[in-house]
Structure 1
């Protein structure tokens, strides 16, 4: 598949393929670095919805946050500018980048189309009720895909979200999968936010995701802005979504994470 992906990307760029190298990651899609005979380099990525991902990257770039330029796209391949990735960014730089992204507001919660992480559907139908959106599109959607005992606890969380989440937070533009591996940096500044799963929702969702596998450092919060009252109490509820996705995609090794977050949510 790597060779076919590289050849297709080169054809979309109108050049002759000279070299290709598989890039790390690629749990849900294949990603290769290509070099053309004329010296141009690009990153080629497979996936079920390249055009939608291209639109999401354009939305991120339109916010003023850094994102790779889309060089070419068709129904099977996304070709992106190659960006520097030389280490973690300065926390303040990341804070400023995420703040620019979240400064963009939508009229409602959701996105104009559903998306997916592999076999896990990301339902994005528009809603005016944020607790209902999170309950239906991010928690109850896992019924039939996780063990019954976990599902019953998720149902209890979902039933009480009207008391735990704000009814109408500002519908910020979210990256949707904002963890350290999806932040490219030259070691100081953020060069690109990649692999998005964008929609409009409570800005705290991205901030919670950033803290799921580690924290960006105190400079992040200083640059991003102060937390809203109650943010710490809501974090476990927002972290449940990516933890459940990991459980479904990668197996029982993530059950402990889900159970820990349910305990933190007092369920």
Structure 2
């Protein structure tokens, strides 16, 4: 029996009827649990389950589908299991509408009330009212540190001219923050939920750029999301560089080519 499952059951005042491992991400463990009273849930570990719970609740409060949070403490997070048929190819249009709705939720400054992490890599969300400075310090430089002197030098050079590339004060939209295609659940042509968030307030183009990391959003997505501001194509490789750096930092040299490609697109 999983210690995570047992802890979640205690938090919910129930007893476990069935338990099994569930296919999850590379940075956390995931269990599927059914209690004797019939309640079913996914139980996961993570760098900060309570923070993830607040992020999921923020997404739901914006009117966007995400798993309901059943319980959370410093060790585990128990959430609703949502239907998923893996049919993102038929749900791009709905995802465009869903993401637009999420980005319509705004804050006064960039950042989030809590810091977070991807595994051992810290994600600082210290509030700031200067977007290029926030993205340089809390995203690009932080993720580049430890990836090698060449990459670090090129990222620092890019950050030195971010004010010329990124808008100083774009709308501070609520971002999912880790919106690659695997974190979008779909069912019957609709988005059933956004999962594994790393939320903060920032430029909505960050989420869109990350979607293109391992997938190709269709025209239906962009039509449903709506027009992007002028210059978004030039900003996209800057925004995609951050998750590429995260992958290089956490998973090693197989992602160096991806990082190099985005840096070259920015002229560095």
**TM-score w.r.t. structure 1 length?**
0.97
Distance apart, 1:39 and its partner CA: 2.3
- The aligned counterpart of 1:75 is 74
Asked if 1 retains the 8 angstrom alpha-carbon contact of 2:175 and 2:199, the reply is yes
Distance apart, 1:233 and its partner CA: 0.7
Asked if 2 retains the 8 angstrom alpha-carbon contact of 1:209 and 1:238, the reply is yes
Asked if 1 retains the 8 angstrom alpha-carbon contact of 2:144 and 2:249, the reply is no
Asked if 2 retains the 8 angstrom alpha-carbon contact of 1:87 and 1:187, the reply is no
4+ residue runs of structure 1 moved beyond 3 angstroms? none
- The aligned counterpart of 2:2 is 3
Mark the runs of 5 or more structure 2 residues left unpaired by the alignment.
Answer: none
Q: Secondary structure at the match of 2:9?
A: helix
Distance apart, 1:88 and its partner CA: 2.4
- The aligned counterpart of 1:47 is 46
- The aligned counterpart of 2:34 is 35
Q: Secondary structure at the match of 1:92?
A: helix
Q: Does structure 1 residue 183 correspond to structure 2 residue 193?
A: no
Q: Secondary structure at the match of 1:44?
A: strand
Distance 1:9 1:85, change over 3 A: same
Asked if 1 retains the 8 angstrom alpha-carbon contact of 2:144 and 2:245, the reply is no
Asked if 1 retains the 8 angstrom alpha-carbon contact of 2:185 and 2:192, the reply is yes
Asked if 2 retains the 8 angstrom alpha-carbon contact of 1:114 and 1:124, the reply is yes
Instruction: Provide, for residues 3-24 of structure 1, a one-character-per-residue CA deviation record: whole Å limited to 9, x for no partner.
Output: 1111111222222212112121
- The aligned counterpart of 2:198 is 197
Distance apart, 1:26 and its partner CA: 3.0
Aligned length: 266
Instruction: Provide, for residues 210-244 of structure 1, a one-character-per-residue CA deviation record: whole Å limited to 9, x for no partner.
Output: 01111221111111111211101100000111000
- The aligned counterpart of 2:87 is 88
Distance apart, 1:75 and its partner CA: 1.4
Distance apart, 1:142 and its partner CA: 3.7
Measure, in 1, the Cα distance between the counterparts of 2:118 and 2:41.
23
Asked if 2 retains the 8 angstrom alpha-carbon contact of 1:165 and 1:234, the reply is yes
Q: Does structure 1 residue 59 correspond to structure 2 residue 58?
A: yes
- The aligned counterpart of 2:15 is 16
